Chains A and B, each alone.
Chain A
């Protein structure tokens, strides 16, 4: 079996899910949790485990966070990725015990004071889990009491010096729940996740005011609802703060946001399922583009996820480099000019189709206003719009009196679609306009 091709096929399928989603948060949150509970497919290297792990993220994406942590802890892919399957009473492996606290629940913020002793204690609690792969499709994590450390586990002052009582036999598995109860008593867990959500949806920098007025109330909601994710998202995404003009456009699009967002914005027609070969290849093309811009879904850089979501001080600015920025513009240019082709199937922006949905495409001012509203999260300076009209749509003709040249060309296209020269003229101008608009830095923001 060619595992590289299988991996690519899985990534293509995943990207297809993103392209075909309804207007819901699910795909966005699946990616959020993939980044949060980061695993690398190339390390897990087992298609069934990879798929089951992915299904788990989908299942809990908008569910209960505490239940998700429990499920992830005993998930086969995670057991393999962070060596949980090698964590035994004879040879405890601290890897998962550490990341559970550092990356998955408490973080490294000032409110997180767990100690190295806590890492060791957690690792001992988690001894005994291993991967059952006796029958391949049913591969899963399971608890093996014979490998479990049955002694008591002492935690530090951060955890109020609590002790997790050692349990024997099958009962040993319940120590995991004791551990999660211990961790989730810490108010820092809710804060840590809420900060991460805030950075994902609003802005990377959290100052004292934001911490006090936004993060703390969100974390309160999170705890009040026993770590259900939905109420937190509802509260954040329907807040005045979220819609405040000053807080919009504060995020630099991730490569996936850019690539998938472009395809969805222009409603780019992919082949139907009957042409699944071409369909998967074209999905994979888009996935590859995002990967070249440094976001390869399924294979984040390491267990911490992509630096854009955690690395101070750059955060999402780290998506933009002298390597990736030209690639972004090359991609948007390409989707306007040549797109991607597989056999006789092609994906490409159709500027005419896109423009026809607007209210008055023959009016160059309204055309540019509406395109700017659709393509940008932030206001464009008036001079910039004026410049686009004059330099691109009107080719240097200036003043209100010249607007009719565009209107005439547009109307002529509706009346005489067979006029090849006019059709080319209108199409080229729209292509130039879209290319230009997507090359402006504003297009990188959302």
Chain B
């Protein structure tokens, strides 16, 4: 794919600088927040968010093995064979989809955990709206324009983007691998994130290559603009430098182009190891919107299997690379998906939009295990039956902010627009 604008600094608007100055003066007037801000600014911890776009089917991902007969009854056309599911050390009641080989291994090594049945009150079943809710951390019935990670970064760097980059923060606050910076990284006024459009563009930047379209008049002009765009971008140079510091990465990575999520995460680990002080990285993969033919006749194969294999292999390689690059203690990751899917499978061999679903979190410093209980599969399942919520997704965010970034509880409440009890995951 030829994506010619690789680095796109979407920080727009300088007109409000006077207003921002006002805020920054207030913030510098010795508020208790200042201490926490310094702590976050100086520590090296990084959060990696993996978006599973489309709504991942939680029940065929993390299987309620203790209710196997109810499970097979609810999903006669797509249930996974008892002997094929992946068992978890110390957690007999639960099993992983056979595609999650790498993640099973990480789980058994204590480097990956699961939070069961994550959702929020009055769940929304529209992809777009539900995604906005997850990204903005809003209540189901409130429309919030900023994102939770954006508000966190705004809290840490209230003056951004005025006079950024600077000595304290020479690097992008957040990096999105993708065309559009996610709502999650949107601050109160400005986006706090910067986009690296795609992996191919990233490598062209690092290697200083451009597409060659020079056989036509417009192509020749385009090549030039592309070349300039590589030299441009406030952060292009720091990204290039960081990437160039890392000359070798783990052999665990699949070949380029084989696993699109791995390709994205490979950039992330390289940039972290290269010394970027960037706090939040966001990558995305999809589409988990498996309404029809989610599996083949052999239910361990098919669309959902491929999607989960991609995630598992990518996270496995990423974790191996973090160790290879000796930065494993700095990174925590988490998967997010806008919703789970219905308990009962449909007649097309798929599953329709649902409510709560499990979240995976991983890292070398996390508290492993499974938080919460398996969802209860009714003996006689109705087509509209949903997995009820056990944990609010904002409690996960609270855990990350409080437990991983060590933000004071009052600020976490401000960022998350409410009081959500952290979970024992980190």
Residues of A within 8 A of B (CB): 203, 205, 246-252, 316-317, 320-322, 325-326, 329-330, 333-334, 337-338, 340, 377-378, 381, 383-384, 387-388, 390-392, 394-399, 401-402, 405, 409, 420-422, 424-425, 428-429, 432, 435-436, 439-442, 444-445
Contacts and interface: CB of A to CB of B under 8 A. Distances in A.
A320 B2 CA distance: 20
Given A326-B232, A326-B233, A435-B10, A387 B3 contact: yes
A397 B228 CA distance: 32
Interface in B68-85: none
Contacts of B9: 326, 329
Contacts of A444: 221, 225
B178 interface: yes
A340 B16 CA distance: 11
B221 A252 contact: yes
B132 interface: yes
A337 B12 contact: yes
Contact of B128 (A387, A405, A420): A405
Interface in B360-411: none
Given A247-B217, A250-B217, A405-B127, A391 B232 contact: no
9 contacts: A333-B13, A390-B287, A397-B127, A397-B286, A399-B287, A424-B143, A424-B145, A435-B10, A439-B5
Nearest to A378: B218
Given A401-B289, A441-B229, 12 more contacts: A246-B217, A250-B217, A316-B221, A321-B228, A325-B225, A330-B12, A338-B15, A387-B198, A392-B180, A421-B143, A422-B126, A424-B132
A325 B221 contact: no
Interface in B281-323: 284-287, 289, 291-292
B222 to A, nearest CB: 5
Nearest to B124: A421
A182 B198 CA distance: 61
Contact of A383 (B2, B222, B225): B2
A401 B291 CA distance: 9
A94 to B, nearest CB: 38
Nearest to A251: B221
Give chain B's interface secondary structure class.
Answer: loop
Given A396-B287, A436-B179, A384 B224 contact: no
Interface in B1-30: 1-5, 8-15
A396 B225 contact: no
Contact of A396 (B54, B222, B292): B54
Contacts of B14: 330
Contacts of B231: 322
Contact of A381 (B2, B54, B224): B2
A190 B129 CA distance: 62
B53 interface: yes
B129 A422 contact: yes
A317 B221 contact: yes
B218 A439 contact: no
B51 interface: yes
Contact of B179 (A203, A392, A421, A442): A392
B285 A396 contact: yes
A243 to B, nearest CB: 13
Contacts of B233: 326
Given A384-B2, A387-B1, A391-B179, A421 B129 contact: yes
Nearest to A285: B15
A334 B221 contact: no
A338 B129 contact: no
A205 B13 CA distance: 36
B337 to A, nearest CB: 10
B131 interface: yes
Given A249-B221, A333-B12, A395 B232 contact: no
B57 to A, nearest CB: 14
Contacts of B234: 326
Contacts of B51: 396
Contacts of B1: 381, 383-384, 387
Contacts of B44: none
A337 B289 CA distance: 30
Contacts of A445: 218, 221-222, 225
B136 to A, nearest CB: 10
B2 A420 contact: no
A409 B8 contact: no
B123 to A, nearest CB: 14
Contacts of A205: 217
A26 to B, nearest CB: 26
A445 B224 CA distance: 11
Given A396-B53, A396-B286, A397-B127, A320 B225 contact: yes
A445 B305 CA distance: 44
A203 B145 CA distance: 44
A357 B8 CA distance: 29
B258 to A, nearest CB: 17
A395 B222 contact: no
A293 to B, nearest CB: 13
Nearest to A244: B217
Interface string B202-224: 00000000000000111001101
A349 B225 CA distance: 25
B328 interface: no
A143 B53 CA distance: 77
Query: Could you say which of B217, B224, B232 has the most chain A C-beta atoms within 10 Å of its C-beta?
Result: B217
Contacts of B218: 248-250, 377-378, 445
A237 B101 CA distance: 64
Query: Could you say which of B13, B179, B226 has the most chain A C-beta atoms within 10 Å of its C-beta?
Result: B179
A394 to B, nearest CB: 8
Contact of A246 (B8, B216, B285): B216
A112 to B, nearest CB: 26
